[in-house]
Every structure is written in structure tokens, then in C-alpha cells.
Structure 1
């Protein structure tokens, strides 16, 4: 298994492999590397004819994928076949996912030299690791793990994003910007866009960054609500205590938990009305990668559980103002009540 930097080094040396399996949390970073492969492999005028894409969630078998791989490229030496969001590479499996994985595993050694097959799988949360399925593909495919980047490497990439939008940013402001965000390039690009639009005719200031940036706690709330959905009481309380230890106030944490449950309720309701993912993203007006996380998280709850969790949040919102119990104890009781309701 290699990381993104090692992948980039191989590409710079002109080494293009027959099959790539990307995995990690940052879908935008993975898509960026696929675009690098696209530019290296495909002639610009024939991209549409030689780049075939399949949604991993909609595959019943690999017949159409194999057929695309076996079909000769048009006016080009090679073509690319992509399976995106290949959830059959995760640990959890039903009969169809197991069948898809077995078909893929058998076919990898037969990919023709005229095709580069690319597959990617997005982790559900930052605790997830490459599955046994993914690890077993090493040797037949180049497995690339998309880790978040930090430090100078992150600052360099972020500065390039600002410059690509015709906006410069000072070193102090750049360091502040990077310190307030995780290394998720999808989130970063969204925040850069917001800042550029906000400070369209002037330099970006520290005040702009503090005003507009999403806090890192968003990820922590995703994790906390995940633990609530899994009914992991001890881990949820530890996560809560970590947030409070960082200096977050109880009412702010409660607000974020309540907001998360409201979003999950809207998404769960939309899914039950058979709305597509694109329609849901458009309706809740959040970036696709956040929407995807929320859709996956909503599967851990029923509508009634989400309504119950919101009622509990409202009750404890009143308790925080009136009860004599300390805030930490009240928040722990809130978590226990949502998990046992």
C-alpha cells in the first residue's frame, strides 16, 4: 500500500499501473489523483470516448465493467474504466457485495494492457481502516491510501488553490486557515471559495477566516452522533469529555448535536420518499461529501428515534438553564438518554 505522495512520485517518473484501488476519507483528494491519471493517460480530444464510469452502489455484477475494460480504446493507446464509491470493498457485506468483490478479485489479473481500471472506496469515518478485502487486492492492483495532509504540504496545496482562483493570501492568514481545518481537500476547497467570494475586492484578513470557517468540531460531532447511533455509551461519553476539555461549552455542543439530528431527520425523511442523493444535497444545501456522510449516518436511526432524540435535546436545553447539576453531568445524562430511548 502506498500513500498519495508515493503515488505522485510514481506518476512523475512515468510509471502508470494497470489497476488502482484508492481508499480513504477524502473523496476530493482521490478525485484529484484520478484527474492526474486522466491527464497522463487520455488524449484531451477523446476523453469522453475513453473514460467509462460506473457507480459502485448500482452494480449488480461486473459484466458491464469487464465489457468496458475489454473494449478497445478509440483513437488512443489506453482507456480508463472507473468504479466510484465501490462500497462492496468495505468490511460489511451482503450476498451481492461478496459476489462483486469475488468477481473483481478474479478479473484483476486479466485486465488488458489497453485499459487502466480505477476503483475507489470512501471510509465512513476516521476510525475506519482499509478492509481485508482491499488489503487482499495488493499485488494485483496498486492500493493507494488517501491520508489527510498536514503542515507545509497542506499550506502549499491550499496556497495553490487560492492562487488558482486569482486570490493571494498572506502567510499568517494561510497558517491560521490551515490550523482551523482538517486536511480534507473537499472541505478546504469549499471554504476557499467562500473566503474568495466574501473578500472579493480586498485582501483576506484573520477576521474573515474566523468569521466564515467551519469549526473542526463538525467532524467531532459526526463522530459523537455515530457513537450514539451505535449505542456505545462509554466511547460517546469519552468523545463528549474530549470536546468539553477543548473548551467547548455545553450549550454549544448541545446546539451542534441538535443541528446534526435535525439534518439526519430531514435526510431520513427524504430517503423514505425515494429522493435521490443529488436531490437531497440540493435540498439541504450542503456539499456532496458532507451530504454523503449524513446519508450513511442516517442509516443508523429510524424516523421515530430521530424525533425522540430531538425531543430529548429540547428537554435538556431547558435543563441546562434551570438545573443545579453541573454542565458536564447534564451532557452525559443527555447522551445516555438518547442512546437508551
Structure 2
């Protein structure tokens, strides 16, 4: 079950006595917990029927006692256990989960890990309640996720704007969602978000970013490459070398994959994990660099990654390292 499905059921007044939220992606867990804490009960009912506990500060007896209380002047009560992974005697909740109170909605947030699927606890949770098991999205899934999130808020967004957000922020769904929410406040209903909006409200330059750098490298456009790198050098916070090198490594690794892929555009886009819209940029770069040039670029990225942390380097500034690195990629 997805986190949206749980919230959808709640909006339709469909409840189970237990919701076990676990896994690596905090954003999905936080969305369900936030809804349970702030929207399941009316403001009048929260005072008597909402209990929020923290795993590191509570014990199993306190949790069970809270869950076994009957709601006051309402149909149900809500008990939320946050940071359940920090609760030392978590397994002692088995007795309650085996016979939960139907008038209690018990929400357990167990972040950064999962219970053993073979354990009695896991079987009880599956039998008596709902499990939300989350995992981190892959980098190539972030633009699509950002687009879906924007659509869920009643707006549209261009593909390039999605790429800008994902490349600049990285795999942090909470930050991406926060930046999109900022756009929602500032843009009129029905406006399609584009790179100009990203530049204005998020602070990401539409001309000077890693996405534009990798495109310029793929086109072997030396003047544009150096112009972007000089901007990065003058504005270190815009794109530090520790962010640029992994992004370019990912880019050239995808180009390298093309040399071994058989099939048409659909198969190539699938192998690279990119939207078909952007495939032409990768195939054009593959033709310009060839297998040898692509491998050389990857080796240079490894070499300059070591130099950026002080290995085999006498203390050059990050901007100078970046200039030297891209120059050697294009002028071997």
C-alpha cells in the first residue's frame, strides 16, 4: 500500500486499528504521521483523544495503556508512536497488536529500518493492520516524482524544471516538496512551472547548473563549459565540486552504457533509466566522445575526486580543479 492510499482511506472514514510505517524514506512516513496527528481528529477532539509518544522516551506499558483507553466524546482516538526504532522493548507490543482496540487508530513510525518479516511481530502486523514499507527513490525517479507531486497540488511543471530541481537538491524528497510548496504559494493556480520560476523562487540558475554543464560537455561546447565552470568557481555554493563530480560521473556512466545496449530508443532509455525525451542528448554525447573518450572522462572524474579531498594534490582551489578537469575531458 502507498502512503496516498492510507490517507485516501482515512478521508473516506475507513480505518484499521494499526498502521505500521517503516523503511528508508522518511518523507512518506512523515506524510502519514502528519495527517494522523493534525487531520484525523477535529480540534475539539484532539485534547482528549490524541496521544503522541516517542520511542526513546517511553516504554511498552505506557503505549499499551494509551491504546487501550476508550475515546472520550468521540468515535475513535489516535495514538501515534514516533521514533519506534528507538524503543528498546518494542516487541512487547505484540500482546496488544494481537488484540487491538477497534476504537483506537494506532500509528507506528519505524524509520530507517524494517522489522524481520519472519518474526511473530511482522505476521501480527500484517494480519491486524496495514504496513507501509518505504524505500529511497533512485536518482532517475526523482524528476517523475517531482512532476507527480506538482500535479497532486493542482499545477503542472516542465520536464527541464523537474530535472533542475532533482539535480540541484538530490535525493531529499522533503526538500523537493518544500521547494515545490514554496512555488505553490507564489504562482497562480493553473500556472505551469518552468525553469524561470525555478530560478526566481528556488534560487537555481537556469543557465549555470550541473544539468547545463553536462549538456555542454556532451556537445563538447568548450566556451559554454568554461563559462559555467567559471560561474561555479565564483559562486562555490551554487555547485560545489563535491556535487558536480558525482553528477558528471552518473552522466558519463550512462553514456558508457549506450555502447553495450542493443535495441531501439525504448530499450536504450530503459537501460539508462532516463526519460526518452532526454535520450537524444546522451546518444549525441556518445557519438562525440566515443568509448575511449567516455572512459577517459570517468577516469578523470575519479582522479579529481581524490584531488578534491587532498589526495595527490598540493592544495588547489576547487574552482581551479574543476576548470582543469573539464579542459582535460575536452582537450585530451
Q: Look up the match of 1:265.
A: none
What is the Cα-based RMSD across aligned positions, in Å? 4.5
- Within the alignment, does 1:78 sit opposite 2:76 as a pair? yes
Deviations 1:43-99 (A, max 9, x none): 33222331111111223x2121122112222221111111112115xxxxxxx72xx
C-alpha separation in 1, matches of 2:64 and 2:97: 10
Q: How does 1:161-172 map to 2 (within 5 A)?
A: 161=153, 170-172=157-159
C-alpha separation in 2, matches of 1:130 and 1:250: 38
Q: Look up the match of 1:135.
A: 122
Q: Look up the match of 1:158.
A: 150
C-alpha separation in 1, matches of 2:302 and 2:99: 57
C-alpha separation in 2, matches of 1:40 and 1:13: 13
Question: Relative contact order, CA 8 A, sep 6+: which one is greater?
Answer: 1
Q: Look up the match of 2:310.
A: 314
Q: Look up the match of 2:107.
A: 118
Q: How does 1:168-317 map to 2 (within 5 A)?
A: 170-177=157-164, 180=167, 184-192=172-180, 205-206=194-195, 209=198, 212=204, 244-247=249-252, 249-250=301-302, 253=305, 313-317=309-313
Deviations 1:265-320 (A, max 9, x none): xxxxxxxxxxxxxxxxxxxxxxxxxxxxxxxxxxxxxxxxxxxxxxxx33555378
Q: Secondary structure at the match of 1:106?
A: helix
Residues 77 and 103 in structure 2, CA contact (< 8 A), matched pair in contact too: yes
Gap runs ≥5 in structure 2: 212-244, 253-297, 326-332
C-alpha separation in 1, matches of 2:164 and 2:10: 30
Q: Look up the match of 1:57.
A: 56
Deviates more, 1:143-152 or 1:101-110: 143-152
Larger gyration radius, structure 1 or structure 2 = 2
Residues 33 and 80 in structure 2, CA contact (< 8 A), matched pair in contact too: no
Task: Give the paired residue count.
Answer: 225
Q: Secondary structure at the match of 1:139?
A: helix
C-alpha separation in 1, matches of 2:9 and 2:94: 24
The verdict on how the C-alpha distance between 1:317 and 1:245 changes in structure 2, with shifts beyond 3 A counting, is farther
C-alpha separation in 2, matches of 1:320 and 1:112: 65
Residues 29 and 186 in structure 1, CA contact (< 8 A), matched pair in contact too: no
C-alpha separation in 1, matches of 2:41 and 2:151: 28
TM-score normalised to structure 1 length: 0.50
TM-score normalised to structure 2 length: 0.51
Residues 80 and 117 in structure 1, CA contact (< 8 A), matched pair in contact too: yes
Q: Secondary structure at the match of 2:314?
A: helix
Residues 148 and 182 in structure 1, CA contact (< 8 A), matched pair in contact too: no
The verdict on how the C-alpha distance between 1:130 and 1:64 changes in structure 2, with shifts beyond 3 A counting, is closer
- The alpha-carbon deviation at position 32 of structure 1 amounts to 1.8
C-alpha separation in 1, matches of 2:315 and 2:49: 61
Q: Look up the match of 1:102.
A: 91
C-alpha separation in 2, matches of 1:50 and 1:207: 46
C-alpha separation in 2, matches of 1:140 and 1:26: 23
